[in-house]
Amino acid sequence: MDKYYIDFDFERPLYIQISKHIKCLIEKNDIKEGEKLPSIRKLSSFLDVNKDTIIKAYNKLQTEGFAVQKIGSGTYAKKRDINLKFKNEYSKMFKNLSPDLLKDYIDFTGETACSTYFPVKIFKKVLNEVLDKYGAEAFVYKEGLGFEGLRKSISYCFWDEKLDKDDILIVSGAQQGIDIASKALINVNDNIIVERPTYIGALSVFRWRRANIFEVEIKNDGIDINALEEILKKNRIKCFYTMSYFQNPTGFSYSLEKKIKILELAQKYDFYIIEDDYLSELIYDDKIEYCSFKSLDTNDRVIYIKSFSKIFLPGIRLGYLVSPKKFKENMQKSKINTDISTSSLMQRALDLYINKGLWDEHVNFLNKIYYDKYTYMIKMINHNIKDYVEFYEPGGGFNIYFKILNDDFDSVKLFYECRRRKVLITPGVLFYKNSSDGNKFFRLGFSQLDDNKIEEGIKIIADILKC
């Protein structure tokens, strides 16, 4: 109890001093993550202040994310992120680098297909066909789930009609899908599980929902099932967020066995799986077969999210979400609350594009392009930085994830050194709940770069890691 003692400055609000003091204790680890704070009664008598002052202080801690309240039990400490400063700087850097300035950099941070390969002429034709055919109608939305034609095409072309068109909800990209699913599914302080490491954008949504996040380490065939089951035995889990293919950032894909096992556990422990089907179109390794959680799901346990933006083009802002029947209505309400509806012109254009067989054609074309780029990337890595890092060959997607072997380097230091030499990488600290877990890791995305830039960039990184 002694650590809670405060030498009050009576000129300033006491509750702020108390909450500051406790924040400080949490940050110095004098109060551990999940440690119970003293009861209001106890602390108020110990500090000789009014009960209301303690209540105010605990409320402030909760608002700022340093504490959680559990009904009938008390208030518990919650840790905040130590790399917050770096994270803010990292995100600001991209805001401040204008497209012109960015051109001077070799940018390994890209996560989406390169605009060079976008079939702009063909898409323009398709857009005009839609405008000629539908006129102003093309700009009107009438269907809450999204344009019916597109939903039919998705079911027909991507799911062999095994999905009902009315189970599909059109969304403005995968990020919105994750946001909508969270709103419909997750309440404050609900327990959820993510892979360690995981996608920053998802982590961020779950944090904004104020969920309690558990991490389970991902291996090259999927997450550690034993660790998962340990968590499930002890906690009531609402959902598990996963990227089934070429996981971002690791590039790992799930084995069939693990997918089946996780689906069984979902049924047994009554949780749901949010499957972010990230880049499964780009498979370079013949041994990898495509089979989503959703397609294996017999108990309606999977919320399936697919983006068209990542592979097509980010500015298209299109994707879809398939929900278990149980949440369907809630998902639709959540979508309406979020932005009412997705651009109807784009929906119609994509529909026509898919129906003409152009989507498949484009995906085949991209597979060839990116297969070559991937092969070259792996070659450059092997030639130049193999001795300084451990890495995994994902066999698909856009990213390679590295572990730094050199003891003197952490990923934030590497980031700054690289940036000084006009190379941009993504340090691992961004992908973990406790960012220090990512100190030795970094991600390189090759989708935006040509072979020369890849070679040049990798050589600069090698040069830095060598020191």
Interaction between residue 426 and its own copies (CB under 8 A): no
Cβ distance to its own copies smaller for residue 208 or 365: 208
Q: In the window 26-45, what residues touch its own copies (CB under 8 A)?
A: 40
For the chain, the straight-line distance linking the first and the last C-alpha, in angstroms and rounded, comes to 48
Contact region for its own copies (CB under 8 A) — 312-320, 356-364, 395-403, 455-463? 312-320
Candidates 337, 364, 375, 382: give the one binding its own copies (CB under 8 A): 337
| Rounded Cα–Cα distance for residues 110 and 445 (Å) | 6
Angstrom distances, CA of residue 394 to CA of 46, 245, 248, 285, 293? 57, 9, 11, 8, 19
What is the 3-state secondary structure of 299-317? CCCEEEEEECCCCCCHHHC
CA-to-CA dists, residue 368 to 12, 364, 372, angstroms: 66, 7, 6
Nearer Cβ to its own copies (167/455) = 167
Contact region with its own copies (CB under 8 A), list: 259-267, 307-315, 425-433, 458-466: 307-315
Report how far apart, in Å, the C-alpha atoms of 184 and of each of 105, 171, 323, 334, 341 are: 40, 14, 10, 6, 16
Minimum CB distance to its own copies smaller for 127 or for 296: 127
Q: Does 62 bind its own copies (CB under 8 A)?
A: yes
Size of the site for its own copies (CB under 8 A): 72
In terms of CB distance, is 263 or 346 closer to its own copies?
346
Residue 426 amino acid letter: T
In 3D space, the residue among 52, 49, 62, 81 whose CA is nearest the CA of residue 22 turns out to be 62
Among 17, 19, 153, 175, binds its own copies (CB under 8 A): 175
Contact 144, 336 (CB under 8 A): yes
Window of 59-67, 157-165, 264-272, 279-287 that interacts with its own copies by CB under 8 A: 59-67
Of 374-413, binders to its own copies (CB under 8 A) are none
Q: Work out the angle between the directed axes of helices 174-185 and 200-208 (0-180°, nearest 10).
A: 30
Smallest distance from its own copies to CB 392, Å:
27
Residues 195-224, interacting with its own copies (CB under 8 A): 201, 204-205, 208, 210
Answer for the pair 431, 200: CB distance below 8 angstroms, yes or no.
yes
Binding-site member from 49, 316, 331, 429 for its own copies (CB under 8 A): 316
Q: Residue 238 has what DSSP assignment?
A: E
* Residue numbers 66-125 binding its own copies by CB under 8 A: 69, 71-73, 75, 91, 94-95, 98-99, 102, 115-116, 118, 120, 124
The residue within the footprint of its own copies, chosen from 26, 49, 78, 179 (CB under 8 A), is 179
